[in-house]
Chains A and B, each alone.
Chain A
């Protein structure tokens, strides 16, 4: 009885299995018997490109499925589109059945550039012509010739139009970060944008849709040409096509389709932002442990990399802190929006994966994450060091100092910058951090009053350019940071 019932159920199930599905995939343990005639050996493909690989394998009666290996740094164009290995543990000489789909890993591919440098051929209506912008001004009319005021990163530049200087965020793209935050390929993208615009004969901005973003930056398509005779090139598209940026879809834009196509093509190559290792980026989780003195003495060597710093917190401004270690040097750590109750004045902490950067000429550590913070046993309290204007130097920035007998000469409009001069008539600024909620009025300060101030030394030059290796630090741009009213002594 059991047999009969079981066989009946089996039969029904088999019927359903055979008839119920359009598509079936073999899942049983059936093993095909093969003969040597149906087997081929995989060839040695070292050095071959995809075209050759495909041809060779198809000639053998095999199909091929490609993958890209991005585990190495590639230093020249000759290294792209080259065989790396077979997949699934196969090697040259492995025997496989005819018709097998063979997996092949290659290096990243060459970038095709078929759109940005030949836009008219793709769609002439997209091409910028002189008639589009002549007689117009960008801010007023949405089109206009501009010059570069200051480079920021790959997708943001300050331009000048007439007497107006303004920040522009490029439409349709989003290059990796390279200022306060560092991401792979961010610096490379920034350098590329800078190099292109520095050699441009004419730069034209074109607005489309919303004029400004939430940060007050103008939004624009950025066109340039290298000579008066050449066609304008859309830099936004070029950055996508060359894989310096992914496409950030500008909804409703006339350039959306071409950017999407260029973006897809670039993504298939796994070049740059699409997966290739950035040789200039520090991929380590923690970074290199070093003293603050060593960091400051070698700061440029570590910009954009990752470091581990141990120090005692001397002052706190919002979520950010000043750290100082036993070498007698200090540095500012920018906390951004990350709150951490453990970052308290007096605490000795070790923080990993911090990225050294410049902020208007002042060295700082960014990229703070609570997950990289550990609190050590408390050390001796840090006492301020009394210095004078003559001692101002790059490696004194971040240090907790006291400067005595400063005469107030004026204030900025919000009374948070106190302009002072010392006994030798050297002038600089005492800066009251916004987080204190203080200003000269609440502190009872007026012009002509003498003060002694304790705080970390800092620096601020809006025109600072980190790429300018001959930049000279101007002592008048140093700032003494007042973070608490207790650090101020009003002299009678």
Chain B
């Protein structure tokens, strides 16, 4: 009797714990295994995995380079679940992806799952189209794979997800929506790092040391401690030419530090200066004295050519002019790291310093430790504030739409789990330049095959750069050693890992009745800095214009 009651009890528990979740229609077999997961113990309920044919429409924006690996994941997943077909469709770019989904929501025609930025998902949530992934994350269902043709036939698949295994900052970004629900999961995450022309730095090692900044004989700065803004300004006195043109003979650039994204620059420096920006409630907090002070400081740095924006060169990104030697340092996305490396594909005549050595550092910070009082100076004015460490956390997430069928949603979720597994997120990271989303990827000892002759764990992948740095660039690798192919990716991955402690994300919210949404505010914040850079507006005018554009 006890056994029967326990079985019924467990069945009901499934029903209750899953709350209003739609459970995939299936035959319940046996009940109750108890596993310890995370902080609690969950009774697992074993069910047969649904075997009806399911087609999942997955929208992303990847080109043929990244889709080759994505297709590999899809092939493997379809072999695990032979009843599932995943239609992977690229939609060119994120604007196209978002617009198509927004249009589709109106006529109830959206894909099963899609990539998107937090503000995209905020809009989908507001429109009632996004599906809460909490239904899966906290599920206690365990499926048995009954299909004998499956590559995992006879195995058990848990629906739930161990959130503790994910990078915390990524999770916070993905459950910032209404009710603290997860409407997306992290997938292709990136941050910003700073590329630096080490060939130029190497020529000034003595002067840099004399100025009190640690640098190795070969021109390597610390990879664990970021440069401060004050140190960046000091470097400007050494690496900057007196005019805005590059001086090849004296190894000096016309501009010191480029910021690819003016929007990111505004937002991240606001955090670094402790200047309120927005919050997840959609409140706009930009118009404050600290922001004004920050804008004045940035303006002074623009004027002295310490900071520069790509607009200076008529470009969207600084990579081209960094390679040309016009700029000595540039802050940009980890996903675009290779664009900063001068190669033989560049027109040789444009490369003022030839094919120079590039190193990567953390983005500059105002202070060594968050909460420290700091005074920056442009030579005439002091800027006093309490500094914080901050670096941008960006890159798309992945979510599921509500109008998919129960089993479509289930398998879409299992696909998300599969492509974000420790090994697959590590492989994706090493192949694409994005970052692993799971902490276990950083410690996994599973060898990942990158080419037919080169396999590595993510730990060893990271050690490519650390070995190189430890040897001050003097490693004894053969010319054919494939570690050379991954050196720069490894550098950036290390930098990203080291600054992960202070990742910050931009609160995402859709437009309201009286103010713009987070995506628009980011764009307008970028325009604000561009207006200051172009001298078309003073910092005060630019801030006033920004507020006028976003606060209706």
Binding site for B on A (CB under 8 A): 2-3, 6-7, 9-10, 13-14, 16-17, 20-29, 67, 87-88, 103, 174, 177, 181, 183, 214, 246-249, 251, 256-257, 260-261, 263-264, 267, 274-275, 317-319, 336-337, 339-342, 344, 347, 369-375, 414, 433-437
Contacts and interface: CB of A to CB of B under 8 A. Distances in A.
Interface string B83-103: 000010111110110011001
B40 interface: no
Contact of B316 (A16, A23, A214, A247): A214
B15 A318 contact: no
A10 B25 contact: no
A13 B5 CA distance: 13
Contacts of B89: 267, 274
B71 to A, nearest CB: 10
B484 A341 contact: yes
Given A25-B22, A249-B99, A260-B100, A414 B349 contact: yes
Given A6-B9, A27-B23, A275-B87, A340 B452 contact: no
B99 A13 contact: no
B2 A2 contact: yes
B482 A342 contact: yes
Given A13-B15, A370-B485, A435-B343, 13 more contacts: A3-B1, A6-B9, A17-B16, A20-B16, A20-B19, A21-B19, A24-B20, A26-B25, A249-B92, A256-B99, A264-B103, A434-B349, A437-B354
Contact of B96 (A21, A248, A372): A248
B344 A88 contact: no
B445 interface: no
28 contacts: A3-B5, A10-B8, A16-B16, A17-B15, A25-B406, A27-B26, A27-B28, A88-B53, A177-B64, A181-B64, A247-B96, A248-B93, A248-B96, A249-B93, A260-B99, A260-B100, A274-B89, A337-B343, A339-B343, A340-B451, A369-B68, A371-B450, A372-B452, A374-B452, A433-B344, A434-B349, A435-B343, A437-B355
Nearest to A338: B485
B224 interface: no
A435 B100 contact: no
B301 interface: no
A147 B344 CA distance: 36
Interface string B8-32: 1101111110011011011110000
A437 B53 contact: no
A373 B453 CA distance: 9
Given A3-B5, A260-B100, A434-B346, A246 B354 contact: no
B210 interface: no
A106 B302 CA distance: 61
B154 interface: no
A434 B28 contact: no
A23 B23 CA distance: 11
Contacts of B27: 29
Contact of A87 (B53, B99, B347, B479): B53
A174 B92 contact: yes
Contacts of B23: 25, 27
A306 to B, nearest CB: 13
B475 interface: no
A249 B96 contact: yes
Nearest to B345: A318
B13 A13 contact: yes
B5 A27 contact: no
B109 interface: yes
B145 to A, nearest CB: 18
Nearest to B107: A264
Nearest to A273: B89
B104 interface: yes
Given A14-B12, A27-B23, A337 B345 contact: yes
Contact of B485 (A22, A339, A344, A434): A339
Interface in B253-305: none
A13 B16 contact: yes
B64 A318 contact: no
Nearest to A267: B89
Contacts of B345: 318-319, 336-337, 435
B427 to A, nearest CB: 11
B159 to A, nearest CB: 13
A433 B347 CA distance: 10
B53 A21 contact: no
A27 B15 contact: yes
Contacts of A20: 16, 19-20
Contacts of A336: 345
Contacts of A437: 348, 354-355
B52 interface: yes
Nearest to B346: A434
A344 B316 contact: no
A387 B234 CA distance: 60
Contact of B64 (A87, A183, A347): A183
B481 interface: yes
Contacts of B96: 246-249
B154 to A, nearest CB: 21
Contact of B9 (A9, A23, A260, A275): A9
B12 A13 contact: yes
A310 B348 CA distance: 31
Contacts of B8: 10
Given A21-B20, A25-B23, A67-B55, A340 B343 contact: no
Contacts of A67: 53, 55
A483 to B, nearest CB: 10
Contacts of B95: 249, 251
B148 interface: no
Interface string B461-484: 000000000000000000111111
A284 to B, nearest CB: 14
B338 interface: yes
Nearest to A2: B2
A270 to B, nearest CB: 9
A342 B485 CA distance: 9
A-B CB proximity, top 8 nearest = A435-B344, A318-B344, A248-B92, A249-B96, A341-B484, A21-B20, A13-B12, A27-B23
A317 B5 CA distance: 75
Contacts of B20: 20-24
